[in-house]
Amino acid sequence: MEKIILLKLGEIALKGLNRASFENRLMGNLRRRISPFGKFEIRSAQSTLYVRKLAGPDDAVDRAFEAAGDVFGVVARSMAAECEKNYGAIRETALSFLAERFTEAATFKVDARRSDKRFPMTTPEIMETLGGDILEKYPHLRVDVHHPELTCMVEVRDHAAYVHGDQLPGAGGMPVGSAGEALLLLSGGIDSPVAAYMMAKRGLALTAVHFESPPYTSERAREKVLALAKRLERFTGRLPVWVVPFTEAQLAIRDVCPEEYFTVIMRRLMMRVASLLAEREGLGALITGESLGQVASQTLHAIAVTDKSADRPVFRPLIGMDKEEIVQLSRRIDTYDLSILPYEDCCTVFTPRHPRLKPRLSEVLEWEEKLGAEALAEAAYRDAKIAGEPEEEEKRDADL
């Protein structure tokens, strides 16, 4: 009897002629995610990934099973025992592999799937016969087909038979990287990490950009953002962070522009810089954590004016969510505790007392011309560096 991980595919199973490319992307993502725990073989068949340990410590399979729950593209997962395709082997495997579960449970049912139609027993025969054998071995149990404490699942497939208990949910979504690449504006607050999670779930590979304004923002604020990016990597895979010095631009906005326009002009400058970075890195979209009406810069009019400064699609996955929904999701993905650390970000620097809720693009453009907005964006872009990767910084400086 060998423990093996079964991972059921979700939307990928509907992809028709393109399905193989999605499966290959998922297997690559999964392999990178579980490789620290041991050496594994990953095989795809019948809308299922089979993960078998080839080498590693005793707990390698358990750790891989836990990690697989964060890999987008997997809709359900099971820790199973593999056995030969004959009823005797299935019976002995079920009674031994789930022995502890049977002992603890009060009710159970047997479910079966027989994709190999050459197997001599029908699906109802497997369920009825195995159910009787389980009751004989564990007489304290009773059958409950509607709400059992434990479901004993038997899958008779082409290569072998598999026995497991209840399935656990997977992360769902699509494999990261299968939908392209995008640039995330990562502020350090509650919203943008949740936006990252949601767009990675739809298959986007992410790079992040963070704007800082020393001395108005501190080194600890930067460290907080980098810690958030690191925590997100369990879902996104590698998440590099570009850091953009933004003090000069914000001081210029403060000195030149009317206070009521500070925020919208700042957001437009950020979009310009982000668009330049996205163009250089070959990233097809921008992502923000904005929610409609949450603050003054997120009114319908302000968003429309802001988007005019971007040269590619701007995705806002939180646009229809309220704050409590966003907080709940941030807790679930384990970013909330970092996001609420009391370190400032540059979006709170020079916050206007009475921001314009319905800014006019014509007026914004007039003030940006006086400001020299394009030159400020170019300067901020030139000074951007990838956090923690000096070799990349030197390479980029040489390219510029």
- Regarding whether 111 and 45 lie in a shared domain, the answer is yes
Q: Is the pLDDT of residue 397 over 50?
A: no
Q: Which of 196, 181, 346, 382 is closest to 273 using CA atoms?
A: 382
Residue 174 domain flag? no
Q: How confident is the model at residue 274 (pLDDT cuts 50, 70, 90)?
A: very high
CATH number at residue 393: 3.40.50.620
Q: Are residues 239 and 111 in the same domain?
A: no
For 67-90, write each residue's pLDDT tens digit: 999 999 999 999 999 999 999 999
**CATH number for 121:** 3.30.2130.30
pLDDT of 315 higher than 90: yes
Return the pLDDT at 390: 52
Give 399's pLDDT tier (boundaries 50, 70, 90): very low
- Same-domain check for residues 370 and 294: yes
Full strand arrangement of the beta sheet holding 385-386: 314-315, 286-287, 180-185, 204-212, 241-245, 385-386
| Per-residue pLDDT at 13 | 81
pLDDT tens for residues 238-254?
999 999 999 999 999 99
Quick one: 68 and 212 in the same domain? Answer: no
pLDDT score recorded for residue 112: 96
- The pLDDT of residue 389 is 62
120 assigned to some structural domain: yes
351 pLDDT higher than 90: no
Cα dihedral 265→271→274→280 (10° resolution): -110
Q: Is 126 within a domain?
A: yes
Q: How buried is 80 (Cβ within 10 angstroms: 0-12 exposed, 13-18 middle, 19+ buried)?
A: buried
Nearest residue to 78 via CA among 153, 25, 134: 153
Question: 166: which DSSP letter?
Answer: P
pTM of the predicted structure, to 2 decimals = 0.90
Statement to judge: residues 26 and 156 lie in one domain: yes
**Beta-strand relationship, 286-287 and 314-315:** parallel
User: For residues 386 and 288, is the Cβ–Cβ distance under 8 A?
Assistant: no
184 domain-assigned? yes
* Residue 146 shares a structural domain with residue 232: no
The yes-or-no verdict on residue 346 having pLDDT over 80 is: no
Residues 295 and 353 in one domain: yes
Same domain, 351 and 242: yes
Of 122, 142, 169, which one is at a domain's C-terminal end? Answer: 169
pLDDT tens column, 209-221 = 999 999 988 899 9
Range from 320-334, 340-354, 381-395 that averages highest in pLDDT:
320-334
* Amino acid identity for residue 2 in this structure: E
Q: Is residue 330 part of a domain?
A: yes
Is residue 389 assigned to a domain?
yes
Q: Would residue 375 count as lying in a domain?
A: yes
Q: Mark whether 390 and 249 lie in a shared domain.
A: yes
Is it the case that residue 155 has pLDDT exceeding 90?
yes
**Count of the separate structural domains present in the chain:** 2
Whether residues 99 and 202 fall in one domain: no
Mean pLDDT for the chain overall? 92
Q: What is the mean pLDDT of residues 309-314?
A: 96
Q: What is the pLDDT of residue 241?
A: 97
Q: Tell me: do 372 and 225 sit in the same domain.
A: yes
- What confidence tens digit (pLDDT) does each residue in 168-206 have? 999 999 999 999 999 999 998 999 999 999 999 999 999
Q: What is the pLDDT of residues 373-395, one digit of tens each?
A: 999 999 999 999 999 765 444 44
Q: Mark which of 169, 191, 224 sits at the end of a domain.
A: 169
Structural domain includes residue 175: no
The size of the chain, in residues, is 400
Final residue of a structural domain among 133, 149, 169: 169
| Host domain of residue 119 | 2-169
Question: What percentage of the chain carries pLDDT values higher than 90?
Answer: 84
Residues 119, 199 within the same domain: no
Tell which wins on pLDDT, 301 or 397: 301
